[in-house]
């Protein structure tokens, strides 16, 4: 139990059960990279923090020993070091441009130790339910917890809640006619851990995101046959362009403040020079401009397609007992189908109304992080940036901490700001017209989004 929790807590009663009052302490859910940043920045703003982590160590999804981790043995970053690290805790200079997942986990462990965060984390503790206490303003929160392996529940009352439980752990499975009768093996990419699962098999990988491309590349090296199915054509950016990591080249172009159409033309030209005409390899031509879908960064897929080790195919029409019929009429017979079809956001401990979840299941949050219903509830890390996430969640959690500090110090002064937050229309923090799909619900341009965070921080400073 964290040091903060050693002091006796005042006990309240709710529905005949005791509630232990944690005063002005903030509850953080999850000790992955986002949760660690939240603990650190809330502590620096003067808050007590209790963080609940269902697993036994930090790292969240990047700790591949965790049950819900989507990481597989060969996972490397698709964003380079400068765009991945926290701004106040740089990665070592001698690390590669694109670190392996084990290095990223060690980075989080060192971050937690450097800032003394572990003493504020309850490991092996699952959050079961969070309920607002609506007879106070700002509203407080009753958080019911229990040990991940069972045990009696316990409810504690907090001044605020920051959910940092991630959104890449609840698999999104597609539906196809005949899939239930298919006799081959079907797995989601969340179940994929090592290329040994592909060895010697005829494999169909479905999905052309970064994970799908990685698994297809691994299948190319160990499988008997690999088909790679994509619904549409995409832009496949190499990890290096013009001698630099591709995201660094992109950022230099962004810094030039060129019009969107000119930037799209420059990057599309760069990809064509680096990769070539994708239709030569049997891939569909992209049906959109660059920036209009989440970037795919992979230098090896085209190589293995060019060597005949990966065969691009279109979308699936239907399954039969042993066959898969594709939309172009051809039939294939894979032994293993891997659905790299992404994930859906899940907040099992929160009522959907607290996040303004719409009929499609998408949370509608102010600035993609603040509840529109209660000013003391925030979600950190619910973004899909065109760059890395951890630099952005650092500034997200700085903003959350400063907002809660303003709310605590001067609720009257914060009222106008809160009205602006909750009434602000939904906004896509991108310049391009992003595809409308669950994969792109949280898509942002890091350049546009960080400018909005900076603007909001200045507003908070002016009001404080």
pLDDT in tens, 287-297: 899 988 988 99
Across the range 437-444, mean pLDDT stands at: 89
Quote the pLDDT of residue 10.
Answer: 60
Asked whether 189 and 338 are in contact (CB, 8 A), the reply is: yes
What integer best gives the mean pLDDT of the chain? 92
Residue of 449, 355, 458, 364 lying closest to 402 (CA atoms): 458
- Judge whether residue 151 has pLDDT over 90: no
Query: Looking at 15-24, 83-92, 175-184, 217-226, which range is the least confident one?
Result: 15-24
Q: Does domain 181-338 have CATH number 1.10.3720.10?
A: no
Quote the pLDDT of residue 16.
Answer: 80
- Judge whether residue 142 has pLDDT over 90: yes
- Judge whether residue 1 has pLDDT over 50: no
What fold, for 3-169+344-463? Answer: FAD/NAD(P)-binding domain (3.50.50)
In which band, very low, low, confident or very high, does the pLDDT at 173 lie, cut at 50, 70 and 90?
A: very high
- Judge whether residue 3 has pLDDT over 50: no
Across the range 136-149, mean pLDDT stands at: 90
Proportion of the chain above pLDDT 90, given as a percent:
74
The CA dihedral of 74, 79, 83, 89, to the nearest 10 degrees, is: 0
Question: Do 3-169+344-463 and 181-338 share a fold?
Answer: yes
Where exactly are the structural domains of the chain?
A: 3-169+344-463, 181-338
pLDDT in tens, 279-318: 998 899 998 999 889 889 999 999 999 999 999 999 999 9
In which band, very low, low, confident or very high, does the pLDDT at 357 lie, cut at 50, 70 and 90?
A: very high
Which of residues 67 and 86 earns the better pLDDT score? 86
Across the range 381-385, mean pLDDT stands at: 94
Quote the pLDDT of residue 134.
Answer: 80
Quote the pLDDT of residue 9.
Answer: 59
């Amino acid at each position: 139990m964290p040091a903060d929790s050693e002091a006796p807590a005042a006990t309240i009663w709710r529905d005949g059960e005791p509630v232990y009052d944690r005063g002005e302490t903030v509850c953080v859910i999850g000790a992955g990279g986002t949760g660690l940043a939240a603990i650190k920045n809330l502590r620096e703003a003067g808050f007590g923090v209790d963080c609940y982590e269902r697993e036994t160590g930090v790292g969240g999804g990047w700790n591949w020993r965790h049950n819900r981790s989507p990481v597989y043995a060969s996972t490397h970053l698709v964003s380079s070091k400068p765009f991945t690290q926290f701004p106040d805790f740089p990665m070592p200079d001698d690390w590669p441009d694109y670190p392996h997942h084990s290095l990223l986990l060690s980075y989080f462990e060192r971050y937690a130790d450097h800032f003394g965060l572990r003493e504020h984390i309850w490991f092996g503790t699952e959050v079961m339910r969070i309920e607002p206490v609506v007879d106070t303003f700002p509203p407080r929160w009753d958080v019911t917890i229990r040990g991940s392996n069972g045990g009696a529940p316990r409810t504690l009352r907090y001044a605020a809640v920051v959910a940092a439980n991630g959104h890449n752990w609840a698999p999104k499975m597609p539906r196809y006619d005949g899939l239930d009768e298919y006799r081959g093996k079907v797995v989601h990419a969340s179940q994929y851990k090592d290329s040994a699962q592909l060895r010697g098999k005829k494999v169909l990988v479905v999905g052309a995101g970064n994970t799908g491309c990685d698994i297809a590349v691994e299948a190319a090296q160990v499988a008997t046959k690999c088909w790679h199915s994509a619904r549409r054509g995409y832009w496949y950016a190499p990890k290096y362009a013009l001698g630099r990591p591709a995201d660094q080249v992109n950022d230099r172009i962004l810094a030039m403040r060129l019009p969107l159409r000119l930037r799209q033309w420059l990057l599309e030209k760069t990809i064509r020079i680096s990769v070539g005409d994708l239709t030569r390899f049997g891939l569909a031509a992209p049906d959109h401009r660059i920036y209009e879908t989440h970037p795919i960064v992979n230098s090896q897929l085209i190589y293995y397609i060019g060597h005949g080790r990966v065969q691009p195919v279109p979308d699936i029409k239907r399954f039969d007992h042993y066959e898969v019929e594709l939309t172009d009429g051809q039939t294939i017979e894979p032994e293993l189908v891997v659905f790299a079809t992404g994930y859906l956001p899940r907040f099992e401990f929160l009522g959907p109304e607290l996040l303004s979840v719409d009929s499609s299941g998408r949370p509608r949050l102010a600035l993609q992080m603040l509840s529109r219903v209660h000013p003391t509830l925030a979600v950190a890390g619910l973004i899909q940036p065109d760059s890395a996430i951890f630099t952005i969640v650092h500034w997200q959690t700085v903003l959350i901490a400063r907002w809660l500090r303003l709310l605590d110090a001067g609720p009257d002064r914060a009222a106008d700001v809160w009205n602006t937050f909750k009434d602000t229309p939904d906004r896509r923090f991108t310049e391009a017209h992003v595809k409308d799909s669950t994969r792109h619900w949280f898509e942002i341009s890091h350049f546009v989004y960080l400018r909005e965070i900076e603007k909001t921080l200045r507003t908070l400073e002016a009001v404080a």
